[in-house]
Amino acid sequence: MANRTAYIFWRVLLCLLAGAIAPFSLAPFDYWYLGGISVALLFLTLHHCSPRVSGWLGWCYGLGFFGTGVSWVFVSIHEHGNAPTLLAGGMTFAFVAALAILFALQCWIYTRFFRNSIGFCALWLLFEWLRSWLLTGFPWLYLGYGLIDTPMAIFAPLGGVWFLSLYVVLVGTLSITFFKRLNHPLQSAAILMLLAIPWVAIQQEKVPQDWTSPVGEPLNVMLVQANIPQEEKWIRSNLENILQTYVDLSQDSDKVDLLIWPETAIPTFYKTASVMLNPLIEQLEQSNTAMISGIPTMYLDPEHPKGRRYTNSLTLFAGGSGSYDKQRLVPFGEYVPLERQLRGLIDFFDLPMSEFSLGSADQPLLEAGEAQIAPFICYEIAYPELVRHNSLNSDLLLTVSNDTWFSHSTAPTQHLQIARMRALETGRWLIRSTNNGISALINPEGMISATIPQYEQAVLVGNVQRMEGLTPYQQWGLLPLQILTGLMLLLGLFTAAPGGRRTHKGI
């Protein structure tokens, strides 16, 4: 009995550790190889476990995975929601524990029906996809992001971040399988060949890269990072000073083609803002400079319980036309689930502008001069399929954010890495404008060409290039990987011999 307890204890500890090291493969740490090691440890730990125990081990892995990777949720709840430390910690744990259920289900299915590397890899890809839409989705911490600064990044335009995640998981599981098959030389050699194929293709320059091409002249862009403290932003008496800060920082904007202010840079509605900003708008119109800013929008809606609804929006104030309403809202930050029950309990459930409504799907692109801009607000950029779909007819990507919510945590650097992947997947320049950093201009290879560090009030001026054409991922989306995943699942089921499901007694 003591041996059994110790046996399970060490497996639980190993799963917690394996999950905890996975986010260190991503920004800001970028130890890309830890993703494969994390997967290998989980794959190894599930060996000979019953489905029930595997489910619990998967949940422990998820606790470590999300507990390390999204611990920044605590910052939002505690610092900006004014929740006591214990309450904020409890709410963060509840959030992490709920997300970890997905890993529990994934591991249970694996040991119940598969118990082979091909089934493990297919399930991992399937559950990363599930996280992109289930319950509005939380597409964060995909292991493929860790490969963005490696030669393997060249495959992102082919299958998106999911293709890179698949390779990470293949490396982890097949490494374990390789050592198990050392006494079978042909099988070991086949594994090495499978893992080496992408690297050989890269070395032999067999992977196409120029999926998109420049169109027109480069655009001169100005990003304003005003670094307005979150606690001061929505105080009505601060409105004039906030707008004046942005105007002062934008004093040379008539010399550029495009001026960008970040998410909800303007903490009031368009009618009021346009009057206060009229001198700047007239100046920009005369110089043919387009100005885009984040701003809340109010719509009269007789079908809404309150007769009106609000959206988190991007609007062109000068040099073009169009507006965009956010389609993916942050739970508790922009809307409150179970609103009637939770409103008023603590400050966190009454954050400013936490009554946003969803924008409609298939909104038109923003037109700034000749540029066709696909806009994304805050963590919308983390949804690969949303970005792919909305960027099909664009020649430039724009994402605005307010990462002040996450203070000095890992969230802003993770967010920037995700944005880099979207530029790489679509073969387009991406403009990232934030309130307090990290603002950046990102080229079609996912590399940062210019940036402003966090917590600096500064202006970034640089050039971006409109691009035309589509990458294979934009054209086909997830269909090829979905077909591949389906085939892997079928093969995994077919090769899962009944003897492979036997478990140690009591385990």
* Pairing mode, strands 458-464 and 219-225: antiparallel
Q: Which member of 60, 107, 263, 334 is catalytic?
A: 263
Q: Decide: 253 and 433 in contact? Cβ < 8 Å.
A: no
What is the spatial distance between Cα 266 and Cα 297, in angstroms, rounded to a whole number?
A: 11
What is the spatial distance between Cα 269 and Cα 353, in angstroms, rounded to a whole number?
A: 12
Place of tokens 């920004």: 27
DSSP 281: H
What is the spatial distance between Cα 277 and Cα 281, in angstroms, rounded to a whole number?
A: 6
Residue 49 designated active-site:
no
Sheet (strand 439-442) strand order: 320-321, 366-368, 371-377, 396-401, 430-434, 439-442, 448-452
Q: Could you check whether the bond before residue 352 is cis, i.e. omega within 30 degrees of 0?
A: no
With both helix axes pointing from N to C terminus, report the angle between 117-130 and 33-45 in degrees, rounded to the nearest 10: 120
- What are the tokens at 131? 């996280």
Place of tokens 């929505």: 234
- Output b/e per residue, 254-271; b: 16+ Cβ within 10 A: bebbbbbbbbbbbbbebe
Q: Which member of 326, 334, 380, 425 is catalytic?
A: 326
Residues near 46 by beta carbon (within 8 Å), at least 6 away in sequence: 54, 57, 58, 107, 110, 111
Residues near 111 by beta carbon (within 8 Å), at least 6 away in sequence: 46, 49, 50, 51, 54, 501, 503
- What are the tokens at 43? 């794959």
What is the spatial distance between Cα 249 and Cα 223, in angstroms, rounded to a whole number?
A: 10
Residue 326 designated active-site:
yes
What is the torsional sign of CA 236, 238, 244, 247? negative
What is the spatial distance between Cα 471 and Cα 158, in angstroms, rounded to a whole number?
A: 7
Q: Could you check whether the bond before residue 438 is cis, i.e. omega within 30 degrees of 0?
A: yes
Residues near 36 by beta carbon (within 8 Å), at least 6 away in sequence: 25, 168, 169, 171, 172, 175
What is the spatial distance between Cα 489 and Cα 50, in angstroms, rounded to a whole number?
A: 20
Q: Which member of 60, 378, 380, 425 is catalytic?
A: 378
Q: Sort residue 506 into left (φ over 0), alpha (ψ -120 to 50) or beta.
A: left
What is the spatial distance between Cα 29 and Cα 460, in angstroms, rounded to a whole number?
A: 25
Residue 233 designated active-site:
no
Distance of CA 362 to the CA centre of its chain: 20
Catalytic residues: 263, 326, 378
